């Protein structure tokens, strides 16, 4: 059964006054798909089980500033801002190819409850995109590329955001960073201690 993978960030000095600036930074750094460009912005008030206060689709991800300006109309300490779009990952259906994969980027205002208390949450896709299905070498190459994309994203955001804590985890509740390190332990390109430290 597929397990959804998430990347969470807790930020220092995060307030209702700089939250949308933090979201804009994430959107500027995120490697959105070149194959499927549309993006949807949703703004939720109080909790995500309620219908969104705003739902607006943009034909092209283009300049993140346009999304942020739309979100500013609902700039409140009890809102969540979610951007749904795609990024390009290697997928086998049935042959390996670079295809758009859904992604959701959420920013939680200080008074909006998130599952783990994080301020930024990125739903990266399902675990099969980042774990080798078999030990066959030909299957490792596209998976390795997907893992690199995930690691680069985490590293880029850590350089530009005021990150206090970061966690790569699975919907099942397990620490996906540890699972990923174990699965790729035999891969010399991703086995180094420095590479493992980037996962946590």
Query: pTM of the full predicted structure?
Result: 0.86
Phi, psi for residue 177 in degrees, rounded to 5 = -60, -45
Tokens 């675990």 belong to which residue?
Answer: 127
Tokens 């774990």 belong to which residue?
Answer: 131
Percent of the chain with pLDDT over 70: 86
Q: What is the largest CA-CA distance in the chain?
A: 51
Pairing assessment for the beta strands 4-11 and 120-126 based on DSSP bridges: antiparallel
Q: What is the pLDDT of residues 109-123, one digit of tens each?
A: 999 988 889 999 999
CA 31/CA 28 separation, integer angstroms: 8
Pairing assessment for the beta strands 163-170 and 79-92 based on DSSP bridges: unpaired
Joined together, the tokens standing for residue 156 give: 């880029």
Q: What is the pLDDT of residues 24-67, one digit of tens each?
A: 999 999 999 999 988 999 999 988 888 999 999 998 877 788 99
Does the pLDDT of residue 197 top 50, yes or no? Answer: no
Q: What is the pLDDT of residues 146-169, one digit of tens each?
A: 988 998 999 999 999 999 999 988
């Amino acid at each position: 059964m597929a397990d959804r993978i998430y990347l969470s960030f807790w930020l220092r000095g995060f307030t209702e006054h700089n939250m949308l600036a933090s979201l804009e930074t994430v959107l500027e750094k995120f490697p959105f798909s070149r194959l499927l460009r549309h993006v949807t912005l949703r703004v939720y008030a109080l909790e995500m089980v309620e219908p969104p206060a705003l739902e607006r689709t943009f034909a092209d991800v283009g300049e993140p500033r346009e999304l942020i300006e739309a979100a500013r109309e609902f700039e409140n300490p009890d809102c969540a801002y979610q951007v749904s779009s795609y990024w390009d990952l290697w997928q086998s259906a049935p042959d390996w190819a670079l295809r758009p994969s859904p992604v959701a980027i959420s920013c939680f205002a200080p008074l909006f409850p998130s599952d783990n208390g994080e301020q930024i949450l990125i739903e990266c896709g399902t675990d099969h995109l980042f774990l080798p299905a078999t030990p066959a070498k030909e299957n490792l190459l596209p998976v390795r590329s997907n893992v690199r994309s995930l690691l680069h994203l985490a590293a880029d955001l850590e350089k530009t955001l005021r990150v206090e804590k970061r966690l790569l985890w699975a919907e099942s509740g397990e620490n996906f960073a540890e699972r990923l390190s174990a699965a790729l332990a035999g891969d010399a390109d991703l086995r180094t201690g420095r590479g493992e430290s980037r996962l946590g």
